[in-house]
Structure 1
Amino acid sequence: MRGVRSMTTLPVAVAAAVTLTASAGIAHSAAPAAESPSSGVGTTVTSSIADSPARPSALLSPSASAADQEAAIAEFYTDWKSAFVRNDCQDDWYHVYSPDAYEPYVAEGQGYGLVITAQMADVDPEAQQLFDGILQYVLDHPSALDPDLMAGAQDLSCNTTGGQDSATDGDLDIAYGLLLADAVWGSEGVHDYHALAVRRIDAIKRSEVHPDTRLMELGDWAHPEWTPELYWGSRPSDWMLGHFRAFREATGDSDWDTIRIAHQDLIETLQQDYAPDTGLLPDFVQDTGTDPKPAQGQFLESDTDGYFSWNACRTPWRIGVDAVESGDPRSVAAAQRMDEWIKQSTGGDPNQIGSGYRLDGTRYATGSDAAFFAPFAVAAMSNPESQQWLDALWAKIVATEVDPDTYYAASIQLQVMLIVSGTGVTL
């Protein structure tokens, strides 16, 4: 569970929401945190993945045949859906179950679910039904602070709990998933996906983008009076550069260019000043208005908040996907920096990728987890010298089965597989 100190200056109406969650995302570990309810979702995938072009600016793809990649994704998705997609609470709701998060249902998981089901539109005949059910769940669980965003967390009965305010990563993926849905199904059905996406994008800009730094805030609860230290914090795994490009395209709002560039500037600064040999980014950044730096000690969650840990493990994927989709030289350079270091530090053996590093590259945790090793495959696609390494990563990924106790790793792994294989929609 996320450890967030109580803020005595908050208004009473929102104090409980911010104190329990400070919904900056989900604290993850290798151990499950809740018992699993029974699944109400079918598990059969009947169609095959359509041929998809390589990512527009990717320099590499796995050497495995397209048929083998398709089969691996279809099998993994079937197992992921069976393990984590549920409709326990209400007939028109589906929701992604998160046994390893601090609550059974979290906004992050619903964002993952929307992105994944939209990407699987050509594979799963249930995809739009599942998407619409997850979307309805999102719409029926608004943030108490900005109702155009999602409340961060719900219990097993699907009642919003301490996470009454928003989680930035969940909202970003929810908005992006809506844009994917508009691209694959159009917006003439039950839901106007495009209109809902634009409404949520505007809310993200209004409530989750810092007005001075233009960096992503930790949630709509970040406030100069309520949470003064956290107000000047940001989380690199929320720096979804490709999402920002899609938001610019969908809304025509050039502020999203400014927002993206602010994040690219800070990525470059952090890599140069704090991780020149590794390119690793920390879980959290503090003092963004004055002297941005990796979090010192326990900033929001734990004493590893300034390390490449359970949040930052996503950054090779988030930055890497912008590199291989947009070809932006700054994103390519940032992704290649991480790729070169991890490849060399492991001797080209993905089994040597640890589950937590200090920014200088020293490991502070042992064990192998897909949340850490899978994202490096996306970064590898940007580097022309990494074919053998990418193939080794892909082999490890496809050999790693869904663990029903670890939704976080499985959801990241599936999204990485979709990107690396070139499957799904490109915005």
Structure 2
Amino acid sequence: MIRPSAFTQEQQDTDVRAAYDAWKKDYVKEAGKDAATGKTLYRIAMGKTAPKVEVTVSEGQGYGMVIAALMAGHDPEARGLFDGLFLFAKGHPDKRTPGLMQWRVPLESPDGGGGTSAFDGDADIAQGLILAHAQWGKGGAIAYLEEAKRVIAAQLKGCIGPQSRLPLLGNWVASDGKKSNQSTPRSSDFLPSHFRVWAKVSGDPVWNTVAENCSAVVDALQKNHSPDTGLLPDFIINADPPSAAKPAGPKFLEGEHDGAYFYNAGRDPWRLALDGLLNGNARSTAQARKMAVWLRRSTGGDSGKIKAGYKLDGTPLPGSDYFSSFFSSPFGVAAMLDPEGQAMLDSIYGKARSTRQSYYEDTVNLLCLLAMSGNYWDSPAE
């Protein structure tokens, strides 16, 4: 891999600390006390101002737990923050599958909308617990590794297709549903580096199968639908068998761009690249590198030319002519796997180190900064 070359390691570490401190100030909110332990509860706010500042989603809790565990060397309050984030998540359980968090707090509607789970939120909650065990060990108020195993087991029960062995959009999806089913995953739920660790932690090789099935779907999409760019769609249909996978149509679940590279799939270069960076996985490396090489060639190595969403052929989406660190920084992690991508990586890092926008952008940007600066790690734990 390559690393940013325009800034020293000391400067990169300083950048990460500054980004973390700003993120913590803007988005970490106290949320009362845990009745059982007396610990302060924390949640990650979806914004800085009303109404979003009052809302928390499981995705944010998971991101926050991963960040807190990784930043313990900088923040003496990190363990208390981590414990409070996890206890808040545990205190808002999903209605269908014990062990998972409801995806939104407060619920979207009085009839319970928002009470079911979202795969990525619980995935990062489990990963955060594994990191916490590696960081702080046993003997605290929370048995991190045992809690991680509990969440992983709940994910397998409620959020993995029984035949497809692919992530479901959530545990609300019927495996044989007419529209959303076990062959309609979200590409940003393809987390092969997580799944390989889970196989070791849980002792269940099914997670290696899930990782390989996700990789097979990505291979098929890149071969058949984005041969020049490697870009992936937000939502996928017909993914069982993986070779038949194709992009979802407009308004499949969220909007007109459900079959495009948009605000879900924008995380894919980072998520896939981590498997190459952490595990040396050749398949994930090739997939992330394909996207990085296309980006380098299409922008001339200038991160300021990265658009906020693309069709799979690389055509910018309507209304995408603005800069967002959400779309830029994940490509920086993928660029670490492109031997010719030094200028692209340096350009992306140069913006990531100082850009501050909103909850989603700032949180993903911080996680990507941790990777680009060499401060990201994982652990299979014992």
The DSSP-based 3-state class of the residue aligned with 2:199 is helix
Query: 2:14 maps to which residue?
Result: 71
**d(CA) in 2 for partners of 1:224, 1:178:** 28
Q: Which amino acid aligns with 1:353?
A: I
Tell me if the contact between 1:183 and 1:425 (Cα under 8 Å) persists in the aligned partners: no
**CA displacement at 1:383 relative to structure 2:** 1.3
**CA displacement at 1:147 relative to structure 2:** 1.6
Query: 1:305 maps to which residue?
Result: 258
Query: 1:422 maps to which residue?
Result: 374
Query: 1:372 maps to which residue?
Result: 327
The DSSP-based 3-state class of the residue aligned with 2:266 is helix
Q: Which stretch shows the higher mean deviation, 124-133 or 417-426?
A: 417-426
Query: 2:30 maps to which residue?
Result: 87
Cα distance change on mapping 1:198 and 1:413 into 2, 3 Å = same
Cα distance change on mapping 1:415 and 1:131 into 2, 3 Å = same
Q: Which amino acid aligns with 2:261?
A: F
Percent of counterpart pairs with the same letter? 38
The DSSP-based 3-state class of the residue aligned with 2:99 is coil
**d(CA) in 1 for partners of 2:17, 2:7:** 15
CA shift digits 1:45-73 (9 cap, x unpaired): xxxxxxxxxxxxx3444441011001111
**d(CA) in 1 for partners of 2:3, 2:375:** 14
**d(CA) in 2 for partners of 1:320, 1:307:** 20
**d(CA) in 2 for partners of 1:103, 1:86:** 9
**d(CA) in 1 for partners of 2:111, 2:80:** 23
Q: Which amino acid aligns with 1:228?
A: K
**d(CA) in 1 for partners of 2:28, 2:6:** 31
Tell me if the contact between 2:229 and 2:312 (Cα under 8 Å) persists in the aligned partners: yes
Tell me if the contact between 1:60 and 1:382 (Cα under 8 Å) persists in the aligned partners: no
Tell me if the contact between 1:151 and 1:160 (Cα under 8 Å) persists in the aligned partners: no
- Aligned runs of 1:396-415 on 2, under 5 Å? 396-400=351-355, 402-403=356-357, 406-415=358-367
Q: Which amino acid aligns with 1:315?
A: D
**CA displacement at 1:205 relative to structure 2:** 0.9
Query: 1:267 maps to which residue?
Result: 218
Which residue of 138, 141, 146 maps to 2:92?
Answer: 141
Tell me if the contact between 2:126 and 2:151 (Cα under 8 Å) persists in the aligned partners: yes
For the pair 1:387 / 2:342, whether they are aligned, the reply is: yes
Query: 2:179 maps to which residue?
Result: 229
**d(CA) in 2 for partners of 1:107, 1:160:** 19
CA shift digits 1:353-378 (9 cap, x unpaired): 00010000000121110110000010
**d(CA) in 1 for partners of 2:344, 2:145:** 38
Cα distance change on mapping 1:314 and 1:171 into 2, 3 Å = same
The DSSP-based 3-state class of the residue aligned with 1:94 is strand
Q: TM-score, normalised by structure 2?
A: 0.92
Which residue of 263, 287, 292 maps to 1:334?
Answer: 287
Query: 1:258 maps to which residue?
Result: 209
**d(CA) in 2 for partners of 1:103, 1:156:** 11
For the pair 1:98 / 2:60, whether they are aligned, the reply is: no
Tell me if the contact between 1:62 and 1:394 (Cα under 8 Å) persists in the aligned partners: no
Which residue of 117, 128, 135 maps to 1:166?
Answer: 117
**d(CA) in 2 for partners of 1:150, 1:102:** 19
Which residue of 49, 56, 74 maps to 1:123?
Answer: 74
Runs of 4+ in 1 over 4 A off after TM superposition: 100-103
Tell me if the contact between 1:154 and 1:160 (Cα under 8 Å) persists in the aligned partners: no
Tell me if the contact between 2:107 and 2:114 (Cα under 8 Å) persists in the aligned partners: no
**d(CA) in 2 for partners of 1:289, 1:426:** 30
CA shift digits 1:393-422 (9 cap, x unpaired): 11111131x23xx20000000000011111
**d(CA) in 1 for partners of 2:175, 2:282:** 35
- Aligned runs of 1:309-320 on 2, under 5 Å? 309-320=262-273
**d(CA) in 2 for partners of 1:385, 1:325:** 20
Q: Which has the higher contact order (CA 8 A, sep 6+)?
A: 1
CA shift digits 1:298-325 (9 cap, x unpaired): 1100010000000000000000111111
Cα distance change on mapping 1:138 and 1:205 into 2, 3 Å = same
**CA displacement at 1:177 relative to structure 2:** 0.3
**d(CA) in 2 for partners of 1:270, 1:287:** 11
